[in-house]
């Protein structure tokens, strides 16, 4: 017996059969449309980059635990991209002289992380990224929040299904040093602790705080700070608040787009001020869907020119879970709209002529590859989701006619060849 290779994909990756791919393409099409209506231009980059750009800027968890790395024949260390932001920073830096800032770009790459596969996490995912480069204006934050709302609305979500929670790392740093009493050296570890705050019980968090070196009173104060909400801003120094774009958003007419939350930190190391996450509010899927933030120096890995940026990445796994939770996932499209069936092999060329006319009007049209009896072809067309067929018979064709048939009502009529596209379109519109 031959030894066959397994048919399952590598663990943490997925196959998408046509019905699932149809759902995905419908969803992504709505998102692309919104992004382009906002003026975002699509770009792409290589699947592999130097491992160094992720090790320097993506954070310890990605660099130490999640990178897929390899060494090429030139002894260069490469990595499959775990995210797109370092790549776009490299592209922006390399082309800065020819760009008119600020720029709005988006992409939809597949990314790879060595994760433990579970709900919401796989090892290969697709992520829509949207970024603005070259502006420090708080209008960038406002546009990001508006864009998030419009993207989710475009796939059927209503405002009561999700919440945008935002923070400013500089505000949190001030609160941790001025109110909690953390040292500058402790801040990175405390940031990591805050990022885990909603994932662990109080005793676990207290133990981790003790490891960092926080006293019991500091741990209690940290809990007060993280639960204070907007009231926290009243306790912070005026200069820190005046420098915060997020505070300016909260004081503007766009304040309703976002909820201030001191617990939002984001794990990626390159964020420098505004950070935000979008949460599903359903008890069945109460988790972060995606997030982003502002980075002031990411392009500094590649150029001396300071190019600030802000953006987010929306992963396909959590997005599809969100749509499924709220019953928003679209149905797969049918394979075709109409099938053109010749009644005999010698009419195959005639059927292809009719199909060409129908495709020219935008109808998804197929013809049989292996002709069978008419009844079987009608059944096959119905199973493929076609709502109409065009039957090409010898006498009709010689007279310049074809027969248009509804698969729903089984009613049919003979029409001139030139009128076939109009007749089919009318039938499909019923």
How, if at all, do strands 41-42 and 103-107 pair?
A: parallel
- Based on the fold, state whether residues 309 and 356 are members of the same structural domain: no
- Based on the fold, state whether residues 309 and 344 are members of the same structural domain: no
Give the per-residue pLDDT at 423.
Answer: 94
- Based on the fold, state whether residues 367 and 265 are members of the same structural domain: no
Question: Of 302, 325, 348, which marks where a domain is finished?
Answer: 325
- Based on the fold, state whether residues 227 and 350 are members of the same structural domain: no
- Based on the fold, state whether residues 342 and 310 are members of the same structural domain: no
- DSSP annotation of 160 reads G
Please give the angle made by the CA atoms of 25, 28 and 29, to the nearest 5 degrees. 80
Q: Is residue 270 part of a domain?
A: yes
CATH at 250: 3.30.930.10
- Based on the fold, state whether residues 313 and 386 are members of the same structural domain: no
Run means of pLDDT, 10 residues per run, the chain, 430 residues? 91 96 98 98 97 79 84 95 92 95 97 86 94 96 98 98 97 96 93 91 93 94 94 96 97 97 87 96 94 88 90 96 97 96 96 97 96 95 96 96 95 95 92
Give the per-residue pLDDT at 39.
Answer: 98
Give the per-residue pLDDT at 298.
Answer: 77
Annotated binding site for L-histidine: 83-85, 113, 127, 131, 266, 270-271
Token pair 């290969």 is at which residue? 124
- Based on the fold, state whether residues 96 and 43 are members of the same structural domain: yes
Give the per-residue pLDDT at 58.
Answer: 66
Q: Is residue 2 part of a domain?
A: no
CATH at 388: 3.40.50.800
Q: Is residue 187 part of a domain?
A: yes
Q: Is residue 179 part of a domain?
A: yes
- Based on the fold, state whether residues 314 and 349 are members of the same structural domain: no
Total structural domains within the chain:
2
Q: Is residue 9 part of a domain?
A: no
- Based on the fold, state whether residues 134 and 260 are members of the same structural domain: yes
Annotated binding site: 83-85, 113, 127, 131, 266, 270-271
Provide the domain limits for residue 400. 338-429
Reference 227, options 255, 194, 263, 201; nearest CA is: 263
Give the per-residue pLDDT at 139.
Answer: 98
Rg (CA), the chain: 28
Question: Of 292, 325, 358, which marks where a domain is finished?
Answer: 325
Q: Is residue 333 part of a domain?
A: no
The CA-to-CA distance between both ends of the chain, in Å, stands at: 55
Q: Is residue 13 part of a domain?
A: no
| Confidence (pTM) | 0.91
Give the per-residue pLDDT at 61.
Answer: 67
């Amino acid at each position: 017996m031959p030894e066959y290779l397994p048919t399952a994909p590598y663990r943490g990756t997925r196959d998408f059969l046509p019905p699932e791919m149809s759902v995905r393409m419908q969803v992504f099409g709505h998102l692309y449309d919104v992004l382009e209506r906002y003026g975002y231009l699509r770009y792409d980059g290589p699947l592999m980059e130097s491992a160094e750009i992720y090790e320097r800027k993506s954070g310890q968890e990605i660099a130490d635990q999640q990178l897929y790395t390899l060494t090429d024949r030139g002894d260069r260390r490469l990595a499959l991209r775990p995210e797109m932001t370092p790549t776009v920073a490299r592209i922006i830096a390399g082309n800065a002289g020819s760009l008119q800032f600020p720029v709005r770009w988006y992409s939809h790459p597949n990314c790879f992380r060595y994760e433990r596969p579970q709900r919401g996490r796989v090892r290969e995912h697709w992520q829509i990224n949207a970024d603005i480069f070259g502006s420090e204006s708080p209008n960038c934050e406002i546009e990001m929040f508006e864009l998030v709302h419009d993207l989710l609305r475009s796939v059927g979500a209503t405002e009561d299904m999700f919440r945008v929670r935002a923070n400013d790392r500089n505000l949190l740093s001030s609160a941790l040093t001025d109110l909690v009493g953390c040292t500058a050296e402790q801040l990175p570890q405390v940031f990591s602790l805050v990022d885990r705050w909603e994932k662990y019980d109080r005793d676990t968090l207290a133990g981790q705080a003790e490891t960092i070196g926080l006293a019991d009173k500091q741990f209690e104060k940290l809990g007060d700070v993280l639960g204070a909400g907007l009231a926290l801003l009243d306790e912070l120094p005026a200069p820190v608040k005046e420098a915060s774009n997020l505070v300016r958003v909260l004081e503007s007419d766009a304040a309703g787009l976002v909820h201030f939350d001191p617990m939002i930190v984001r794990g990626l190391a390159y964020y420098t001020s505004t950070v935000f996450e979008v949460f599903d509010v359903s008890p069945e899927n109460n988790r972060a869907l995606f997030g982003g933030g502002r980075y002031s120096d990411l392009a500094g890995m590649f150029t001396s020119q300071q190019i600030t940026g802000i953006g987010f990445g929306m992963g396909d796994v959590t997005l599809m879970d969100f749509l499924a939770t709220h019953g928003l996932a679209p149905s797969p499209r049918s394979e075709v709209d109409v099938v053109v069936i010749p009644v005999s092999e010698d009419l195959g060329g005639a059927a292809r002529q009719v199909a060409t006319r129908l495709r020219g009007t935008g109808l998804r049209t197929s013809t049989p590859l292996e002709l069978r009896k008419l009844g079987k072809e009608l059944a096959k067309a119905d199973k493929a989701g076609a709502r109409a067929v065009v039957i090409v018979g010898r006498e009709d064709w010689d007279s310049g006619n074809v027969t248009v048939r509804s698969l729903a009502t089984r009613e049919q009529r003979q029409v001139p060849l030139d009128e076939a596209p109009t007749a089919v379109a009318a039938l499909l519109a019923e």
